[in-house]
Structure 1
Amino acid sequence: MINPKWTMAIISGMAMVLLVGSRAQAELDNLPIAHASETNQASNQKQPTRQMQASKPGQTRTSKQTPATRAALAQATKSEIAKKPHQLVLQVNSNDPAMMNLTLNNATNVAQYYRDLGEPVSIEVVTFGPGLHMLRDDTSPVKPRIEVLAMSNPEISFKACGNTQENMRKAENKDINLIPQATVVKSGVVRVMELQEQGWSYVKP
């Protein structure tokens, strides 16, 4: 018959063997996980370095323009400038036939110049004060010339001051009729000023 003390000793030994074996297996199981965690940490520490290297200021890539590209851009710019219409405003504020004819000469010459170049141009002749006689149907000394000019030069337009027309109507006690080529504006002076503010060139006779 086995001694009860031996039996207890054997059972205690077997329990220790099982406990030690379980701890060893647990340590072996945890070892890859810990190694993987350390690997991920190392990888995460290296990543910002790559990102910082990729975003260094001196590494920005810029495109270089070739001579052909610069020439094409210059030509496009010149084409855009050519498309922009030339704009000229001429005023007549005197009942002087010589001044009226000089103004028509200037308008005709400018229109012809840019027509020969194939470039657009707009010209306005603005009359006010005594200059309104230029566009009056009953007193204009250049009425026949304006009729011919308007047919061959659509770039040229004629503006009559409404304030002057009204003042003449009151002074002469009759309606002041204008030639068909004239368009009435509220104020001739204001018209000249506004066109200049819009970039029109102004030439004083």
Structure 2
Amino acid sequence: MRALVAGFVIAVCTVRATASEPHRLVLQISDGEPAKMRAVLDVAANVSRHYSGQGKDVDIVVVAFNGGLDMVLEDRSPVKERLANFLKSMPNVSFVACGNTIETLAAKEGRQPPLLPGVTVTQVGVAALMDLAEKHWTIVRP
């Protein structure tokens, strides 16, 4: 009986420990289509509202690479104003640009593409997705 009670206590403690951790979502944007960029922002806003409405925390990372890099570029983002508002008002949402895609674009255009303020860079966008998946983040590509 003691073993059963001890097992129950361990199980309850484990559930409580994971219940207090924030939910974790990664949104992939690899297409240069403005509609997909808006969809990524819609999903981020909806998920954030959903969990905050339940009194729960959620961390959201948007990883941009290939054509999706345009989403986070100062000089061509079709969602520039909305993304800037996210960065100001939603501290649980962050934006990460792929360094390889930036380098490719810089070589093609002969200049360093300007990122929107607040966007961070990772060397390989897909590797960042893999690393987060291995840490039990949920990856969605709207």
TM-score by length of 2: 0.89
Query: Which of 162, 166, 170 in structure 1 is aligned with 2:99?
Result: 162
Query: Which of 158, 180, 184 in structure 1 is aligned with 2:121?
Result: 184
Partners of 1:103 and 1:140 in 2: how far apart?
Answer: 13
Partners of 2:11 and 2:52 in 1: how far apart?
Answer: 24
- Matched-pair contact (CA < 8 Å) for 1:90–1:123: yes
2:107 counterpart of 1:144: no
- Matched-pair contact (CA < 8 Å) for 1:114–1:120: yes
The alpha carbon displacement at 1:78 in A equals: 4.2
- Matched-pair contact (CA < 8 Å) for 1:82–1:119: no
Task: Note closer, same or farther for the CA distance 1:154–1:190 as it changes in structure 2 (3 Å cut).
Answer: same
Q: Provide the residue aligned with 2:52 in structure 1.
A: 115
Q: Percent identity?
A: 39
Q: Which amino acid aligns with 1:128?
A: F
The alpha carbon displacement at 1:177 in A equals: 0.8
Q: Provide the residue aligned with 2:109 in structure 1.
A: 172
The alpha carbon displacement at 1:172 in A equals: 0.6
Q: Which moved more, 1:174-183 or 1:112-121?
A: 112-121
Structure with more relative contact order (C-alpha pairs < 8 Å, separation 6 or more) = 2
Task: Note closer, same or farther for the CA distance 1:64–1:95 as it changes in structure 2 (3 Å cut).
Answer: closer
1:22-171 alignment to 2 at 5 Å?
Answer: 63=2, 76-171=13-108
Q: Which amino acid aligns with 2:55?
A: G
The alpha carbon displacement at 1:75 in A equals: 5.9
Q: Any stretches of 5+ residues in structure 1 without a counterpart?
A: 1-61
Partners of 1:197 and 1:64 in 2: how far apart?
Answer: 33
- Over the aligned positions, Cα root-mean-square deviation in angstroms equals 2.0
Q: Which amino acid aligns with 1:137?
A: E
Q: Which amino acid aligns with 2:86?
A: L
The alpha carbon displacement at 1:79 in A equals: 2.9
Partners of 1:135 and 1:64 in 2: how far apart?
Answer: 54
Q: Larger helix proportion, structure 1 or 2?
A: 1
Q: Which amino acid aligns with 2:80?
A: K
Partners of 2:122 and 2:21 in 1: how far apart?
Answer: 25
- Matched-pair contact (CA < 8 Å) for 1:127–1:134: yes
- Matched-pair contact (CA < 8 Å) for 1:90–1:204: yes
The alpha carbon displacement at 1:64 in A equals: 8.1
Would you say how many aligned residue pairs link Structure 1 and Structure 2? 140
Q: Which amino acid aligns with 2:57?
A: P
Q: Larger strand proportion, structure 1 or 2?
A: 2
TM-score by length of 1: 0.63
